Each structure stands twice: as C-alpha cells, then as structure tokens.
Amino acid sequence: MTDKQQNTGADTTATHSGFVALIGATNAGKSTLVNHLVGAKVSIVSHKVQTTRAIIRGIAIHDNAQIVFMDTPGIFKPRRRLDRAMVTSAWGGAKDADLIVLLIDSERGLKGDAEAILEALKDVPQPKLLVLNKIDRVRPEDLLKLAQAANEAVPFERTFMISALTGSGCKDLMDYLATALPEGPWYYPEDQISDLPMRQLAAEITREKLFLRLHQELPYASHVETEKWEERKDGSVRIEQVIYVERDSQKKIALGKGGEAIKAISTAARKEISEILEQPVHLFLFVKVRENWGNDPERFREMGLDFPK
C-alpha cells in the first residue's frame, strides 16, 4: 500500500494539487521552510542573503494532496543585472502560482524589503497566506502586533506562526494547503521531490558549500556549473564541475592556500551529493576566471533566469 493510499484511505478520494509560491525578503527562511516541508534537501541554505537565484520547486505529499512549493529568490532592491533577474523571477513565480505564501522574518518585522513586498502584493490577485517565521525568537505580544499590521496592509486568507528550523506550526500550514489547493490529478510522480535536474541540483549543492566556506571573501562573484556527468560501471558517478569567478584574485581565494579551500568544498559537496544519489560520487572541481560573467546571457540560462535587457 502506498503512502497516498494510507493517507486517503481509498483510491476514490479526491486528490488536490497545485503550486504554492513562497515569497519574502532575503534570508526570511524560505529555503529552510521548503526543505522542511518537502522532507528533503531541495534548496540550498546559507546564512548569506540572496543565496537562491532561480525558482526551485520542491514537491510534498500531504494527505491526498500534492503541494508543489516554488522557492523563489528573496525580493530586494536590485542593484545589478543579476539582482534584477532574480527579483523578476520571484514575482513571475508568484503570478504563476495557485496560492501565495508571504514569509516574514518575525525578528525583522515589516522593515525595508518586507514593507515594499506587502505594498506590491496588493495588486496580486491570487489568494495569499501570511506566515510569520522564527517565532521562537519573538515575544507573543509582538507577534500579534506584527500579524495585525500585515493583515491591515494586505487581506490574507489566514495567518500562520511557525519556526521553519524546528518545524513548529508547519503541520497546521500543510493541513490548510492540502485542502485549499484545487481538486485535480497530481503533476509529478509520487516519489519525486523536485523538478530540478540532478546536474543542476549537484551544482547548487557545491555552490552552497562554496558560500558556507568563503562567504566573507567571495561575495557574489561565483557561479557553479556541472560540465560532465558519467555513470560508471561500478555503480559510481563521476562529476566534473566548474566554479566561475570574475578575477584571478578570486580564483586564489576559491583554491585556498595549498588547495585547502577547494578540497574542503569538494569533500563537503561530494558527501551530500552522494547521500542524495545513494551511490558513490567522484567529484572534480575546477576554478576558471570568466570576467564579467554576471553580464553573460549563457550563465543566466544555466541558472534558469531570463537575461534582463
């Protein structure tokens, strides 16, 4: 008996399915929340802002519903071409969804980007939910004030208070989504957790390890692409990836003294990719300088972003 049959009790039970766009300011916790709700790593997480660059879909089954979460890039005031592409991608994801979830960092409240997002949401027609994250760090009375202020700005269908890190409040959110989405067949096979190709997911994992290791020294000047993927007869996979940076000085940082940094990044990425694939992985990383890659249309296509004019 499948999980679906166990949860619904019978095959004749009506199924629900749909797309839920998670939007919010940078570092509100969207990727952490998607990973928790899906129950697996589908989106990279970093304490560094603007980690997610393109829309990543994580697929969760809850009761008789298939919920496709669209983890969008954090919305902020863009300065560079890449910034504009990321923000455009986020709002595009929202407009394509059946339902929109606005995630607010309770500690930061409605300051800055969050306030601007609320203003922009007034013109978006889809049903909207408000989710206050990191509630364990804020006094209850302050949470209530925050919820009231946000609901006065935008008519939300419901408000949920959660901790994406611990999972507190997440079941209530999933229960609601499972019934709020339209009735209809599921979009993806039952065991699929993401629509991201493994080559791209592997590159995202390496990019996460790069950020975690070098977030101070190598801000946003790096991009990772999987160039070769070879399934070997012994059941292992050989993966070759290129880390693109913009200057020779950044290449030296990525490599580290005696190759120490690149070895650590490779080891961490290989371990996680191997766990996801459930097979041995041989990972080879190369660092190449590509000046001004942030203005290269081909790099944007690799990231799943439209190149802004």
Bridge partners for 289 per DSSP: 245
Strands (E), the chain: 16-24, 56-62, 65-71, 99-105, 128-133, 158-161, 223-231, 237-245, 281-289
Is residue 31 a known part of a binding site?
yes
Q: Vertex 22, ends 148 and 300: CA angle to 5°?
A: 140
Is residue 254 a known part of a binding site?
no
Is residue 259 a known part of a binding site?
no
Separation in Å, CA 195 to CA 60, 137, 233:
12, 33, 26
Is residue 171 a known part of a binding site?
no
Is residue 35 a known part of a binding site?
no
Is residue 18 a known part of a binding site?
no
For helices 198-214 and 248-255, what crossing angle results, to 10°? 90
Is residue 73 a known part of a binding site?
yes
Is residue 25 a known part of a binding site?
yes
Is residue 29 a known part of a binding site?
yes
Instruction: Retrieve residue 168's tokens.
Output: 């507190």
Is residue 74 a known part of a binding site?
yes
CB atoms within 10 A of CB 278: 6
Is residue 292 a known part of a binding site?
no
Is residue 71 a known part of a binding site?
yes
- Give CA–CA dist 245/251, Å, rounded: 6
Is residue 72 a known part of a binding site?
yes
Quick one: residue 39, left, alpha or beta (phi over 0 = left, psi -120 to 50 = alpha)? left
Is residue 169 a known part of a binding site?
no
Residue with tokens 């009735």: 183
- Give CA–CA dist 215/218, Å, rounded: 6
Is residue 30 a known part of a binding site?
yes
Bind-site residues for GTP: 24-31, 71-75, 133-136
